[in-house]
Every structure is written in C-alpha cells, then in structure tokens.
Amino acid sequence: MISAPKVAASTRPSESPASSPDAGAHESLIDSGSQVRVQKPRRAAPADAVRPTRAEVNLANLRHNLRVIEKALLPNAQTQKTAEVWGVLKADAYGHGAPAVARTLERAGISGLCVALLEEGVELRAAGIRIPILVMGGYYGRQLDGLLEMIANDLIPVVYDPGQVEQMARLARLENRPPMRVHWKVDTGMGRLGTSPRELSSMLQAFLQFREVKLEALMTHFACADAADLSATFEQMRLFGELEHRVQALGLKPTIRHAANSAALLRAPHTQLERVRPGVALFGVSPTAVELPLASELRPVMRVRSEIVALRTLEAGARIGYGHTFETSRTSVIATVPMGYADGLSRKLSNRGHALVRGRRAPIVGTVSMDLTMIDVSEIPGAKLGDEAVFLGPQEGVLGKDVISVNEVAEHAETIAWEVLTSISRRVPRFYREP
C-alpha cells in the first residue's frame, strides 16, 4: 500500500553557509517508511565537501526576483486583479535545490508551485511545503498507485487524455472521495503535451461524463515566447481563447487559466491571465535575448565558484591539457581549478569560456577535463594558490568586479540558460546564503 511520506521536521535554510537544507529533505524522503519508488542519488553535502568547488545559492536574490516578476503583472481589465504567481521548480528548482527554494518562496508569499514530476511534488511535501503544487508532466504511472500518491500528498494533477479523467473518476468512486480537481492542458501549438484541438471533444465528453473530476483550470504552454517575433505566441493565445470558448459553451466552467512562462509574462501582459508560471526568471536569468526593462532588474541566484589549486609559469610554446588544444604564445601563468565537465562545466567552454579571479576575467585554456580546468592568469597580477575562481555569477576583487552570466555561458556552450543551470551536477554542493 502507498502511504504518504511523513512530513519531515523541516530543516530550514540557515544563515550559515555550512548548512544543507536539502540534504535533510532527501534523506527524509528515503527514511519516511513509505514504499520507496524513487531512489534519489544524494547530492554532495556542504559538510562533506573538502574540495573548494561549490554553488552558492543567494536566497535574498531569489526573493528579489519574485518581486520583480510581481511588478510585471498588470491588473486584468475585467477583474482588476493581477495574476497569481506559481513558481516552476522542476528539475530540483533548475539545479538550485528544490526544498530550500520552495521554502524561501513559500515564506515570501508565493501562491503556488509547479513541478514536472510526481516525484518532485512528493519531495517538496516531504520538505514541509504546504502551498498548492501542480504536477505538470501529467504522468502518474500505469497503476492507480501514482494517483493515490498524488492525493495523499495533496498534489494537483494536469490531465490531457480522456483515459486519465476516467481513471481519476474511478478512483474517486472507489474510495468515495470528494471530486478531484484537475488542470486540463491543451496543445495550442507546442506539439508536446496537451489535448490537441482535434481531440478536444472527446476530452469534453469525459469531463461531462465523469463529474467526480472537477475541471478547475485550463492551461497551455508557449513554444516561442522567447523569440524576437511574438506572432507564434499571439497565435497560440488566440487559439487558447477559442478552445476556452468551446469548453465554456458546453457548460464546463474552469475558473482559472494559465499559459505564461517567464518570457511571456514579461513580454506579453495579455498572456498573464489568472496565473503565471515563471521558472528561469525566478533564478535571475533573462528568458530572452530581446532587451527587456524588467529583465535588467533580475539578480543571479546561483554563483559557482572554486579555487586555484595549482599554478605554474610556462615558457612560450608550452602545450596545455588533453589533446594539446592550447599552446602558450608567451611566457604564461597557468592556474588549475578543480571543476570540470563532470561538475557541469561544459567541454564546449574549452578555449572559449572564462573564470573570474581577483575580479577580472581569465580565459579557460586547453580542454576542460572531467575534474579540472586550466585558466590563463597571466593578466591577473598577484594571482596565487587559494584565490577564488568564479565560473558563474559575480565576483568582486582587488582588480575590479565582473559577472559571468548564465546566458554568456550558454552562448559559449552552444546551449540555453536552462541547460547551464540544470547541468551543475550533484558533485557540487549547494551552499545557501542569506546575506
């Protein structure tokens, strides 16, 4: 039988950077006495860390970004109300550690949270999170177990298939439960999840037939809200409105609609509706290359830093790293930093990316290896063993101050900010800061 994981005595992110709020939560998930379906590999805990490589998560900046997002919300013309913010914390809160991020946002007054997986929702409940949680992936397993676990953990399911509605109705009847509230996802042009317009009527039939399932909200997701050209987003919005009318016409009355991710809510206020679902903007990353006034107010939440552990002076013509992909053109000071691709520093940054040392940029030289990366500190006077090297985020030092943004790394690594953040691996302990 499934039993709800007990709510853990919540471990609070403390002021001390030596604490690890999420390590406790992971353990409680496993020690809860419930049937364990999900074995989560434990992330390196700060207390175990010998290596100076770590990700610092600035919870004050997280709260600040929530306020910036709230500033972007315009009152609805009819109701005069602004949208509720439901923060998207899938993939361990974009690599920042979901329990600590969720606790911070909950205390900052956020209305609700969204995750991709049932497992992620369970993890947040086990960490003591009480606000509503929407499970967007819509996958609850083949058996009823997953749905029972959704109910036991008070998680809100997203549905898009008539079979899901029927299964939920059957469960409600079987267990003699109050109606189960669900969010219905429709596909307006993403081609991924959601009921396609052609299948709308069979889904409508299911809702009309199975009254044990209460349609609380209608939702969709944008494919191109970050693109310079917003016409695809506007077209999705138009279709969303049309589908909503078809739903209303049959007497179904979802009271909530939501569609906007970070980019849409910041760029196209008419997509805000009753709820918005920002993810990346909460973590201080502009969701689009297009210039946005509010985006410049976002503050980076994650800072990835290590220290110089080896330093050598090499003559001109010296070759560096695997494959000898770099050759010094002059007498050079080369520093070695214990962070590599196994920590989430992309190999694409080889001979391309930078680290900050003493407040100034030092280029990555040679190939990024699994555990180590070399940087050229020839232009960093006074660089020495133990100096901090920052691969992501800001640094202030004796030579100045600078920032390596997530978007900059994404460009060098030929990927997107979302992947950069979620790539920081479990070998890198997260330290929570409350400056």
Given the rule CB under 6 A, which of 28-36, 258-266, 369-377, 408-416 is the region that contacts ligand PLP? Answer: 258-266
CA 233 to mean position of chain CA atoms: 22
CB of 93 to ligand PLP, least distance (A): 11
User: Based on CB atoms, which residue is closest to ligand PLP, 279 or 393?
Assistant: 279
Binding mask 81-120 toward ligand PLP (x if CB under 6 A, else -) reads -------x-x------------------------------
Reduce the DSSP state of residue 91 to 3 states and report it.
helix
Given the rule CB under 6 A, which of 37-45, 162-170, 255-263, 363-371 is the region that contacts ligand PLP? Answer: 255-263
Is 90 known to be catalytic?
yes
Reduce the DSSP state of residue 275 to 3 states and report it.
strand
Range list of H helices, 153-189: 162-174
User: Based on CB atoms, which residue is closest to ligand PLP, 67 or 173?
Assistant: 67
Q: What is the H or E stretch that residue 410 is in?
A: helix 406-412
* Site membership for ligand PLP, residue 19 (CB under 6 A): no
User: Based on CB atoms, which residue is closest to ligand PLP, 87 or 128?
Assistant: 87
Cα gap 384→308, rounded to integer Å: 7
* Chosen residue from 138, 278, 284, 321 binding ligand PLP by CB under 6 A: 278
Q: Which of 71, 322, 384, 401 does the annotation list as catalytic? A: 322
Given the rule CB under 6 A, which of 49-57, 170-178, 273-281, 341-349 is the region that contacts ligand PLP? Answer: 273-281
Which residues ranging from 195 to 254 are in contact with ligand PLP (CB under 6 A)? 221
**Residue where the block lists tokens 């992947």:** 419
Cα gap 241→263, rounded to integer Å: 19
* Site membership for ligand PLP, residue 420 (CB under 6 A): no
Cα gap 222→211, rounded to integer Å: 29
The contacts of residue 62 (CB under 8 Å, 6+ apart) are 96, 101, 104, 105, 108, 282, 283, 284, 301
Reduce the DSSP state of residue 294 to 3 states and report it.
helix
Is 185 known to be catalytic?
no
* Site membership for ligand PLP, residue 280 (CB under 6 A): yes
* Site membership for ligand PLP, residue 261 (CB under 6 A): yes
**Total number of residues that touch ligand PLP (CB under 6 A):** 13
Q: Which of 6, 40, 71, 90 does the annotation list as catalytic? A: 90
User: In this structure, what DSSP letter does residue 186 have?
Assistant: B
Q: Which of 130, 206, 196, 199 is nearest to 168 (CA)?
A: 206
Given the rule CB under 6 A, which of 172-180, 256-264, 341-349, 424-432 is the region that contacts ligand PLP? Answer: 256-264
Q: Which of 411, 393, 409, 413 is nearest to 401 (CA)?
A: 393
Interface residue list for ligand PLP (CB under 6 A): 88, 90, 136, 221, 261-263, 277-281, 287
Positions marked active-site: 90, 322
